[in-house]
Each structure stands twice: as C-alpha cells, then as structure tokens.
Amino acid sequence: MSNIFELATRKALRFSTERGPVTVEQLWQMPLQAKNLFDLDSVAKDCNAKVKSFTEESFVTPTNTPAKAEAELALEVVKHIIQTKMAEAAAAAEAAQKRETRQKILGIMAEKQDEALKSMSMEDLKKQLEAL
C-alpha cells in the first residue's frame, strides 16, 4: 500500500468536525480529546461510523466502492495521527519524569557535598580555601 498521507493529500481528503471540514495538516494541530468535541477522537468516531455504514450488505450496489476506500483511508490517517500523538505524549511524560529524578539526585548530591564540607576540620577548610 502506498503512503496513506500521499494518498490523502492527492485525494484532498477533508475530515468533518464541529467547526467544519479540516485538512490532514490541520488534524495534527487538534488535541486528542477536548470538551468542545473539536478533537481527534471525535473525528475518528465520525470516520469509523462512515466505514461501518459501508459494511451493511447491499444487493444492488457493490460493497467495494471508491467511497468506501476513501472512508477507510480517512480512518487510517486519523488513527495514525492519534497513535503518533499518543506516543509523543508518552515520550514527553517519560522525559519529564527523568528530568525530575535528575534534579532530585543533583539536589541530594549537593546536600551531601555540603555535609562533607561541614564535617571537615577548620584546617582542612582553610587549605581548600587557599587552593581556590
């Protein structure tokens, strides 16, 4: 299968939202979820409903139509964007946790250095001060 984004841009796919149709590029700017329903979750649900509407069996029209293929493509694009954004959010949360842990460790190290300096004799402190 070709790149889904290449197909989506060639077909100039538009996605229905509460604020009107949006492009593939605009999907990347949308939040995963929002109270106002202008989010990727709502777009994915709409795309999924369109795909499901084609699964109804018809005895007159063929079930494999260009419209069905376009609906499936739209759903795949939205799912890919959601998965990517979720992975990025998880990576950002992990990086923030690592930064926080690093800051704690550096703080404890600084405290231990202060304790070591406080436990030194006056002579040793003077020698270190002169060395600076």
pTM: 0.76
Domain boundaries along the sequence of the chain: 4-102
Segment 27-66, tens digit of pLDDT: 999 999 999 989 999 999 999 999 998 876 667 766 678 8
Backbone angles phi, psi at 15, to 5 degrees: -120, 130
Which ranges constitute the DSSP H helices of 1-132?
Answer: 4-10, 24-27, 40-53, 66-118, 122-131
Q: Which residues touch 32 (CB under 8 Å, ≥6 apart)?
A: 39, 40, 41, 82, 85, 86, 89
Q: What pLDDT is attached to residue 55?
A: 75
Residue 1, pLDDT above cutoff 60? no
Residue 130, pLDDT above cutoff 70? yes
